[in-house]
Structure 1
Amino acid sequence: MAGGDDQTELFDDKSFGGKPFEVIDPGVQRVPFVFNSPHSGRIYPQSFLRQSRLDGHAIRRSEDHYVDEIFDFVSDFGAPLLLAHFPRAYLDVNREPYELDPRMFDGPLPPHANTGSVRVAGGLGTVPRLVAENMEIYRHRLPVDDALARIEGIYKPYHACLRRLIAHTHVAFGMAILIDCHSMPANIRVTGSTQRPDFIIGDRYGTSAAAELSRVAVELLEAMGYTVSRNKPYAGGFITEHYGRPARGLHALQIEINRGLYIDEGTLLKKPAFAHLAADMRAFVTALAAHVDDAAAYMPLAAE
């Protein structure tokens, strides 16, 4: 399953090869998990790069570098992995569909656009104005139709695909657990402390997933020797908030991995420790699934 060729007709650039995103399908799904990597895309259309004032290295600062590769084992495990090929700097699907900054565009935005969100004010809307460290992406204003084409041609099909995966899982298993996979800069600190966590587990302060699931996720990572924070400073974005409905058996967790564990943030090259981290993530997912599989302990969460 993937973004189809018909979706690329809205674009003047074919560099996504008809697949702005894809699902790594396990064939037979054996666990009630869906994994999502919305920010690890690293195909940059030439038309987009011509619009940008940033060089090919700087514009990559917003990527969740290689997160799709860290979790590429999950199809062997029996879970689907949805991953983006388009970069976050081009389109951010972890936002509402129309969080748009009117200062970025020539022409009026549609009346339903959310132009006043905190994320828009920070330059991090659906079509971002900035990459990390407040670097402006674009040389000039964009045509409004450019932004709307990205939303219609990629954002909406991406979320339609994610909804299908979650719905199929929920029907098949009576519950669905979305793991939204991200990375964070190595210098991120927990507010009010000097702690630089290795991982952050986000559940929108208990509203997007059962407390037991979040607790177990934190404890499993801590048992591996990692420093883990819960919801601080990242509690989860639009995806976690939108799809997590624990009272209906729909649980959504965001996992943030400290990039310093596995890449050199200057060169963006993988460290030798990348393989160790990937192995730890396999062990983590296996243990978390074993907990979920203990129906007597876990199934009551669907009724919370």
Structure 2
Amino acid sequence: MTPVEIVKGEGPVILAQPHSGTFMPPEIVSRLNERGKALADTDWHVDRLYDGLLPDATVVRANFHRYAIDANRDPSGASLYPGQNTTGLVPLVDFEGAPIWTEEPDEDEIDRRRIEFHAAYHLALAAEIDRVREAHGVAVLYDCHSIRSQLSFLFEGTLPDLNIGTNNGATCANVLEEAVADICAASGFSHVVNGRFRGGWTTRHYGKPETRVHAIQMEIAQSAYLESETAPFAYDEAKAEKLRAVLKEILQRINALARDGKLNGADDE
């Protein structure tokens, strides 16, 4: 299986999906313990959740699992949230803080995975950003994520349904952040802007409004669209359709802002 799947669209919006893949080579799977092999920290069904919502969007999806290497972490290994619990470039524990390996990868192994998987994903994503920006004068990177709604290792209490991340407003124009937040506020789903999840490495690395690349992360609590947040993590059609209606409105609004020239200045208000 190729590390990255790309669907080229003709519009200004790119949907990045770094964590919905479950592929890992057998030699990596063999080093996971039973807990690791459950792959519980997958962004379950995110590709299905967004499928068809914005037909002219480009999709860049990592087919490999985040336990092989996390495509949304700094390739240097630097923490996104210093002082807080998190998982690393190659996670050694899961989202509950429990070990996932019988044999942890050494630095040579991490370097190999960085080249084979992480670099491949970001080469593809960067190329699509450049292509879209050249075609439209602007590109909007919408980073698609989901996570279990209760994980005491990572955060207290229950996560809001919709978690918007722009690294405290640094990664996109204000008008874009406000438009997404307004739709979330009217949706009936709970939401927060730059709460526990302010945007991962992808959002922070590419989101530079002064270069006409805007990035925004959407972290969705899996309780909003799964039957249960335990195995087999089944997709709930009724829940998902309600959520998909909101996500469709968000993507259409982002698309309109980009096409109407509302994101072409670095200081959009």
Q: Normalization by structure 1: what TM-score?
A: 0.79
Matches of 1:45 and 1:192 in 2, distance apart? 31
| Partner SS for 1:269 | coil
Aligned partner of 1:155 in structure 2 is 118
| Partner SS for 1:81 | strand
User: C-alpha displacement at 1:303, in angstroms?
Assistant: 4.8
Matches within 5 A, 1:217-232: 217-232=180-195
Distance change (3 Å), C-alpha of 1:303 and 1:283: closer
Counting aligned pairs with the same residue, the percent is: 27
Aligned partner of 1:38 in structure 2 is 18
Q: What is the RMSD of the two structures over their aligned residues, measured on CA atoms? A: 2.6
CA contact (8 A) 1:201 1:235 kept: yes
After superposition, give the CA deviation of every residue in 1:47-82 in whole Å (9 maximum; x if it has no partner).
222101124663x221111111112215x6211100
Amino acid at match of 1:232: G
Distance change (3 Å), C-alpha of 1:192 and 1:80: closer
Amino acid at match of 1:97: P
Matches of 1:160 and 1:56 in 2, distance apart? 28
Distance change (3 Å), C-alpha of 1:145 and 1:196: closer
Matches of 2:120 and 2:157 in 1, distance apart? 41
| Partner SS for 2:164 | strand
Any unmatched runs of 5+ in structure 2? none
| Partner SS for 2:40 | helix
| Partner SS for 1:153 | helix
Of structures 1 and 2, the larger Rg is shown by 1
Aligned partner of 2:256 in structure 1 is 290
User: C-alpha displacement at 1:266, in angstroms?
Assistant: 1.4
User: C-alpha displacement at 1:121, in angstroms?
Assistant: 8.7
Amino acid at match of 2:167: R
Matches of 1:142 and 1:193 in 2, distance apart? 30
Amino acid at match of 2:24: Y
Amino acid at match of 1:223: A
Matches within 5 A, 1:147-296: 147-187=110-150, 196-263=159-226, 264-267=228-231, 268-272=233-237, 273-295=239-261
Matches within 5 A, 1:45-124: 45-55=25-35, 58=38, 60-73=39-52, 77-99=55-77, 122=85, 124=87
Any unmatched runs of 5+ in structure 1? 1-16, 100-113
Aligned partner of 1:145 in structure 2 is 108
Distance change (3 Å), C-alpha of 1:222 and 1:188: farther
CA contact (8 A) 2:12 2:139 kept: yes
After superposition, give the CA deviation of every residue in 1:16-46 in whole Å (9 maximum; x if it has no partner).
x2x11111223xx0x2111100011112332
User: C-alpha displacement at 1:122, in angstroms?
Assistant: 4.5
User: C-alpha displacement at 1:90, in angstroms?
Assistant: 1.3
Matches of 1:119 and 1:184 in 2, distance apart? 20
CA contact (8 A) 2:36 2:101 kept: no
The answer to which of 225-234 and 41-50 deviates more is 41-50
Matches of 1:204 and 1:86 in 2, distance apart? 26
Matches of 1:241 and 1:48 in 2, distance apart? 29
| Partner SS for 2:146 | strand
After superposition, give the CA deviation of every residue in 1:202-232 in whole Å (9 maximum; x if it has no partner).
1000111111100100111222222110000
